Amino acid sequence: MAGKDVSTMKISPKVWKNGEFIDWNDAKIHVMSHVVNYGSSVFEGIRCYQTSKGSAVFRLTEHMQRLINSGKIYRMDSGYSRQQLCDATVELIGQSGLDHCYIRPIVFRGLDEASPAFGVNPFPNPIDTYIAVWQWGKYLGEEALEAGIDVCVSSWTRITSNAMPSMAKAGANYMNSQLIKMEALLGGFSEGIALDDRGMVSEGSGENIFLVNNGKLITPPLGASVLPGITRDSVIQIARELGIEIVETNIQRAALYLADEVFFTGTAAEITPIRAIDRIEIGEGRRGPVTKQLQDEFFKIIDATRPAPAGADWLTFVNKTDEAVAA
């Protein structure tokens, strides 16, 4: 259950910090930083893929906008524009020597060592912005995209939006996610599904969730303490283009067991089918046809072999020559 040792992973030799490139091993903070003690951070998870036309970041602009939105909710302005963050990411990947990677931008409250403040009040503390990249494989396992995974409904309730805003991708929110994930792993499952405070389906520990019933695609609304996922939005747009009816509605726990298909979406999880929930087989106990259809179209877009819905520009190429060829 231990995480993969970073020494066995390919990492970028550089990290972007507050407008400068520093060595990976120098990307360190003080133990008394506000973020360490009080969890004051917002972050993103983004993927760069090796496409048929060169390395490209998937929906970089949307991810950076969500980072800025999360910071706004927590009054944590990095001081960098969306375009500056996008440009820094592309430059960092270019320097990394990696043709595909996972990208972690993070904005947090640090420590002013000349005039330290150790209380809950965040305002006296400086705001730092970092971007790191490394190679990361399939989050839920190499076989999961086809074979599917077994999950459970968690005993832990998803955080409520008026206590910890679910529209923000904040580090502190993921303490709730860790409880959900640990319980699932210790129970022999790959992942957990959290219910909201009304007992309605919310999301996984780090993924949005979709059901398929009678050809319709069903997902909880954002009001169910759901993070507005970028992959969630991508799947909705792809499904709409394919003529699949989309229903955003509250979902009872029992409806999970009766669905024809269930799958997770997320930057790390991509589109991962769920074959059983609480050891109850979903549909035929394997990846369903709608899930596969959505996967196929999703990965074609990622591979730059088909355009995004409505001609949207979902790929930011690391090499501008590749971008020109793709266009």
Q: What is the pLDDT of residue 138?
A: 72
**Residue 2: pLDDT above 50?**
no
Provide the residue count of the chain: 327
Contact status, residue 137 vs residue 118, Cβ threshold 8 Å: no
Topology of the domain covering 144-309 = D-amino Acid Aminotransferase; Chain A, domain 2 (3.20.10)
* Cβ atoms of 130 and 106 closer than 8 Å: yes
Residue 167: exposure state from Cβ atoms within 10 A (0-12, 13-18, ≥19): middle
Is the model's pLDDT at 324 over the cut of 70? no
Q: How many CB atoms lie within 10 A of CB 113?
A: 10
Partners of 263 in beta bridges: 210, 273
Residues 256-274 have a mean pLDDT of 97
pLDDT of residue 1: 39
Model confidence pLDDT, tens digit, residues 45-75: 999 999 999 999 999 999 999 999 999 999 9
Mean pLDDT, residues 266-275 taken together? 96
pLDDT value of residue 322: 61
Q: What percent of the chain clears pLDDT 90, i.e. is strictly above it? A: 91
> What confidence category does residue 294 fall into, taking pLDDT thresholds of 50, 70 and 90?
very high
Q: What stretch of H or E contains 49?
A: strand 46-51
What pLDDT does residue 312 have?
Answer: 94
Q: What are the pLDDT digits (tens) for 237-261?
A: 999 999 999 999 999 999 999 999 9
- Residue identified by tokens 């970092």 is 130
For residue 62, give the H/E element and its range.
Answer: helix 60-73
How many CB atoms are located within 10 Å of the residue 196 CB? 21
> Is 306's pLDDT higher than 60?
yes
Would the pLDDT of 160 be above 60?
A: yes
Please check whether the two domains, 6-134 and 144-309, share a CATH topology: no
- Catalytic residue from among 14, 53, 169, 181: 169
Whether 28 is catalytic is: no
User: Rounded distance, CA 179 to CA 184, Å?
Assistant: 9
Instruction: Please give the share of the chain, as a percent, with pLDDT higher than 70.
Output: 94
Would you say residue 6 has pLDDT above 50?
no
At 184-199, the pLDDT tens digits run 999 999 999 999 999 9
Q: What angle do CA 4, 158, 134 make, to 5 degrees?
A: 25
pLDDT digits (tens, 9 = 90+) for 35-53: 999 999 999 999 999 999 9
Phi, psi of 191 (to 5 degrees): -160, 165
**Which phi and psi angles does 207 have, rounded to 5°?**
-145, 150
- What's the pLDDT tens digit per position in 123-136? 999 999 999 999 98
CB 282 within 8 Å of CB 274: yes
Place of tokens 């990411």: 89
Q: What is the pLDDT of residue 9?
A: 79
Quote the mean pLDDT of the chain: 95
Domain segments of the chain as ranges: 6-134, 144-309
Q: CATH assignment of 6-134?
A: 3.30.470.10
Of the ranges 41-50, 137-146, 246-255, 269-278, which one carries the lowest mean pLDDT score?
A: 137-146
